[in-house]
Structure 1
Amino acid sequence: MFKTTDLYDEYLEAVQVAAPIFRDYGGRQRFCGQIVTLKALEDNSYLKASFESDGRGKVLVVDGAGSMRCAMMGDVMAALGASNGWEGVVINGCIRDSADVAKVNIGVKALATIPRKTIKRNQGVIDIPLHFADVNFNPGDYLYADEDGIVIAKHALV
């Protein structure tokens, strides 16, 4: 089992460390996998589509532009991701149904919670480089997350 602190100590500046802006909401606090990216503002249509695909060994990184106006994901979406093997999701935005999301076997890091859901407009862009939390999230890179934070690497570390 990895620890982000140990990964940083071993690899130092060969890895990126995300700014400590996220809170843990999922049933798993420790998760890792290959990054799949999504950029979408206040619309979780593409998040749902991503979670409907096979997510074994993958982490979905969602840039919701830090929006605090609505939740990109709730308990139903978390359960969908878990049922398709996704290791976790990191959301630059909000979630909802946090008490129920905590019961789902998936890692979830997000900025905050809010009751309001998104409006479905089928808008978003997948598999593009993202930048938030002072790091670059590139499709195919590897993300390691635990209670101490998030470390990003160009290749698998464990």
Structure 2
Amino acid sequence: MIESVPTSRGIQGYSYTSVTLKKIATVIPAKLQRQNYFFWKLLFEQIFSRYKLMGIVDGSEPCPAQFLTDKEGNDLTDQINPAFEIWHDKDQAMLTWMRSTCSEHVLPFTAGLASSRELWLNLEKRFQVVGVSSEYRRNLAAAALATTDICDAHPDLLASGDLRLVPQVFQKYGKWQAFAGPVVTLKVFEDNTLVIELLSTKGEGRVLVVDGGGSMRRAVTGGMLARSAEIMGWAGIVINGCVRDVDEINECEIGLRALATCPVRPIKNDSGSGQKHVPVSIGGVLIHEGEWLYADGDGILVSSSELSI
């Protein structure tokens, strides 16, 4: 328990006083670095909204006056305003939560900041990345080629192996049935630290292909990561593993393929166990960084180069 927060003061619904630093550490899967700021922010927005604290950092719930006043409006400096005490306790709890999730490289940017809003705005000023528009995402989906047309137009590439069919073992999630783009590869096992790192950066219409070792024991992507991928402009995600928060994922304007769902969260490894930008094998099909992936309701194709029909 955060000792500075008196447990007798709760709020309607969820009580912020029940939040411990240990609980925050389980919700925020990686220490804040420059490259994962966007995902970190989304997670804290979810926490603050759940506990009705968002107004403190966005400025819509300003700090009440510190002292009560008399009939003439003069401060009674010996009488602390109870509303101020409650607001201040919440604010300092939030400041502690955020600082507890900062990496050693980010902590210096929190020095001397006395309120959660000051810290929130300072981090946003330093690390904020602008997401893409809804029109951009719609154009990504519209640009995807039909896999049947690709196969009909390029039988020679199918025969040579420059165009490969990925085995039909994936379930479909997300709003977009069809997506396409150059491939970015990851190889992980039940640890999504590197997935967070990449999906927090600009996608630029690319497709993240994650070899999760086919594990059915833990999910490596959930609703918040799908939301991050959507906002940052990733065209799609293909996971040789599991996802969770399916209802949230299905509300995202992105295409996602995974083997199945699993409610168990991934493990957390601050060192980011796994490999980036290496060849991965999905269902026996070798996929290299920079190749092109095309997916729709009929299947998934991987091409050595961008195709036209």
Question: Structure 1 length as normaliser, TM-score?
Answer: 0.97
Q: CA deviation at 1:52?
A: 1.0
Residue from 218, 243, 260 that aligns with 1:112? 260
**RMSD across aligned positions (CA):** 0.9
Structure 2 partner of 1:155 = 305
Greater strand proportion: 1
- 1:125-140 maps to which residues of 2 (within 5 A)? 125-140=275-290
Structure 2 counterpart SS, 1:5 = helix
- Post-superposition offset of 1:134: 2.9
* CA distances 1:94-133 after superposition (whole Å, capped 9, x unpaired): 0001111011011100000010010111211000011122
Q: Which runs of 5+ in 2 are unaligned?
A: 1-143
% same residue: 40
Residue of structure 2 in register with 1:42 after alignment: 190
* Higher relative contact order, structure no. (Cα contacts within 8 Å, ≥ 6 residues apart): 1
3-state SS, counterpart of residue 42 of structure 1: coil
Write the mapping of 1:79-94 to structure 2, written as runs, cut at 5 A: 79-94=227-242
Equivalent position amino acid for 1:2 in 2: L
Q: Structure 1 runs of 4+ off > 2 angstroms?
A: none
Q: Which residue of 2 aligns with 1:2?
A: 145
SS of residue in 2 equivalent to 1:76: helix
| Distance across 2 between alignment mates of 1:106 and 1:145 | 12
Structure 1 residue runs without a partner (length 5+): none
CA distance in 1 between counterparts of 2:273 and 2:284 reads 25
Aligned residues: 158
Which residue does 1:22 correspond to in 2? 170
The secondary structure found in structure 2 opposite 1:131 is: strand
Q: TM-score, normalised by structure 2?
A: 0.50
**Structure number with higher helix proportion:** 2
**In structure 2, C-alpha distance between the alignment counterparts of 1:22 and 1:153, rounded to whole Å:** 18
